[in-house]
Amino acid sequence: MVHKKILCCLDFSQYSDRTREVALDYAKSFGASLLVLNVVNTRFFSHPAIMDSSAYGQAFDEAQEAARKKLDDVEKSIGKEIQDVKAFSRTGVPGEEILKLAAEESVDLIVMGAKGRTGFSRMLLGSAAETVVKSAPCDVLTVKA
């Protein structure tokens, strides 16, 4: 199968570089356009102690701004290697936002990291990779941490 539109999902963790490299290699190989997505996870900001804090708005705004700057840098870097690249920044639950963008943009392949969380951290943070693999309208390539 030839993939013409690839969605690369980055959380800017220490594993994101590898995910970006794999997505870029696939885009080059297929001559595909590359969409790069970062989702600022609202679950991190949804705890009542945080939401009731006057610092909530500031912390959320700072997280969005930092993510946007990183995303701009990634878009510029990838743009040096392929012509058709577009970056998206969203807020919400990562798995849900990835699926929404994949459907909106009719992507052929989603490339995303899989950290392999288990137990409490998985229950607390959820598993975006699991959500996407189960429900994606296209192929999904997970890059192991």
pLDDT at 13: 87
Amino acid at site 41: N
**Along the chain (145 residues), what's the average pLDDT of each consecutive run of 10 residues?**
93 92 97 96 67 68 91 96 96 95 98 69 63 94 89
pLDDT at 15: 86
Structural domain boundaries in the chain: 5-144
Contact 40, 91 (CB under 8 A): yes
pLDDT at 30: 95
C-alpha 141/C-alpha 114 separation (Å) is 10
Give Cβ neighbours of residue 123 (< 8 Å, ≥ 6 apart): none
Give which of 11, 3, 39 is closest to 114, Cα–Cα: 11
Output the CATH code of domain 5-144: 3.40.50.620
pLDDT at 50: 57
C-alpha 50/C-alpha 52 separation (Å) is 5
